[in-house]
């Protein structure tokens, strides 16, 4: 396979204009946005109808779906191919919450496969990029909540007292496994790493109406079927330090069969070295600061907030910090 086809890839985002969005991706991160409200930037996506296009190189203007279809397991990795088939299993987004999002829940793989036309479930994590003073979000339900009590509260409009609120600040990580009741609330900008799925059951929408002036539809009955009342993995993550030497700190954030994400903190001029060994693609995201991703080809400069997708057979690479910087690395093992 010609090496010209294998290189770190960046993508043109796909934008979503949901009513709760704003312009923070432009004002905070100097992103070029279309006019109007921008709620989400889908930065790496193979979702049907919303696949992102490669920005440069041999695959320029082709979509991520095209690349996966042409390169298959060489691109995805042996572990990914065996577990998920020849499909890109993840979706990387930025979300700008200028209003409260609806209270919602996502199904797991088993429910989605049997009831949502074979779709994947949707487990996800949020990395808090920016938070206004006092910002909070909803993750989970207060202890003692029962399915019967929850469904009655949802139908009676008294759900808010059952929602578990979590105060957040920049750098916090929230794990949201499938089945967790959650809502991103106003005042937060987050990076979301999730399964490649858009299956969402809206439980409560704060009495809001949509752009047509009508209440947005709820899926209370279906949502209640997939809620997991007791998921110890849900909530704010306590990072586990796995390496701290030579100006390089590595922390484990989320580790699951669906995806693993680490945070890499680099001091100025520090170098982080790793390799893509053929088992899984990797996604590197610059969260703060800037630096270069070097490999056997031309270096790729990255600054906050940008993601690069590294094919599974890329080989050795390094992150070289221009200034103090923070990075996320996501892969499947």
At residue 1, the pLDDT reads 47
- 240-331 under CATH 2.60.120.10, yes or no: yes
Alpha carbon distance 5, 168 (integer Å) = 41
- Across the chain, mean pLDDT equals 95
Kindly report, residue by residue over 221-241, the tens digit of the pLDDT.
999 999 999 888 999 999 999
Whether 2 shows a pLDDT value over 70: the answer reads no
Q: Note every long-range contact of 252-257, with CB atoms under 8 Å and residues 24 or more positions apart, other chains counting.
A: 253/125, 253/127, 253/173, 253/328, 254/125, 254/173, 254/175, 254/193, 256/123, 256/177, 257/83, 257/332
- What are the φ and ψ backbone dihedral angles of 139, each rounded to 5 degrees? -145, 105
Kindly report, residue by residue over 67-82, the tens digit of the pLDDT.
999 999 999 999 999 9
At residue 157, the pLDDT reads 79
At residue 317, the pLDDT reads 98
At residue 4, the pLDDT reads 62
Identical topology for domains 3-236 and 240-331: yes
Boundaries of every domain in the chain: 3-236, 240-331
The stretch 210-219 carries a mean pLDDT of 87
The stretch 89-117 carries a mean pLDDT of 97
CB 43 within 8 A of CB 52: yes
Q: What is the CATH number of domain 3-236?
A: 2.60.120.10
What is the number of other CB atoms lying within 10 angstroms of the CB of residue 156?
8
Question: 38 by DSSP, 3-state: which?
Answer: strand
Poorest-confidence range of 29-38, 150-159, 300-309?
A: 150-159
Whether 303 shows a pLDDT value over 70: the answer reads yes
Kindly report, residue by residue over 121-177, the tens digit of the pLDDT.
999 999 999 999 999 999 999 999 998 999 898 888 789 999 999 999 999 999 999
At residue 251, the pLDDT reads 98
Residues in contact with 143: Cβ distance below 8 Å, sequence separation at least 6, in sequence order: none
298 beta partners:
none
């Amino acid at each position: 396979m010609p090496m010209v086809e294998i290189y770190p890839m960046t993508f043109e985002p796909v934008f979503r204009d949901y009513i709760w969005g704003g312009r923070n991706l432009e004002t905070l991160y100097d992103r070029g946005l279309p006019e109007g409200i921008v709620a989400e930037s889908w930065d790496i996506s193979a979702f049907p109808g919303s696949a992102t296009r490669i920005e440069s190189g041999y695959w320029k203007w082709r979509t991520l779906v095209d690349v996966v279809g042409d390169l298959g397991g060489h691109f995805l990795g042996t572990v990914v191919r065996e577990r998920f088939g020849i499909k890109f299993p993840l979706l990387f987004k930025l979300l700008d919450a200028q209003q409260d999002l609806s209270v919602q829940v996502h199904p797991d793989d088993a429910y989605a496969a049997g009831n949502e036309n074979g779709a994947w479930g949707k487990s996800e994590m949020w990395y808090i990029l920016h938070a206004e003073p006092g910002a909070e979000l909803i993750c989970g339900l207060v202890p003692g909540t029962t399915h019967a009590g929850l469904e009655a509260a949802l139908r009676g409009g008294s759900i808010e007292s059952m929602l578990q609120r979590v105060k957040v600040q920049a750098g916090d990580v929230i794990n949201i496994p499938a089945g967790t009741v959650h809502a991103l609330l106003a005042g937060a900008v987050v990076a979301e790493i999730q399964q490649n799925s858009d299956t969402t059951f809206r439980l409560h929408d704060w009495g809001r109406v949509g752009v047509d002036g009508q209440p947005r539809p709820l899926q209370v009955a279906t949502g209640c079927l997939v809620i997991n009342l007791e998921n110890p993995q849900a909530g704010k993550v306590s990072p586990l330090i796995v390496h701290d030497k030579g100006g390089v700190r590595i922390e484990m954030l989320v580790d699951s069969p669906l995806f693993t994400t680490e945070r890499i903190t680099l001091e100025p001029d520090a170098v982080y070295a790793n390799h893509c060994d053929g088992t899984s693609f990797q996604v590197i995201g610059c969260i703060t600061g800037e630096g270069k991703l070097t490999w056997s080809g031309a270096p790729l400069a990255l600054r906050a907030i940008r993601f690069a997708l590294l094919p599974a057979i890329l080989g050795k690479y390094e992150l070289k910090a221009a200034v103090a910087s923070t990075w996320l690395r996501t892969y499947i093992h």
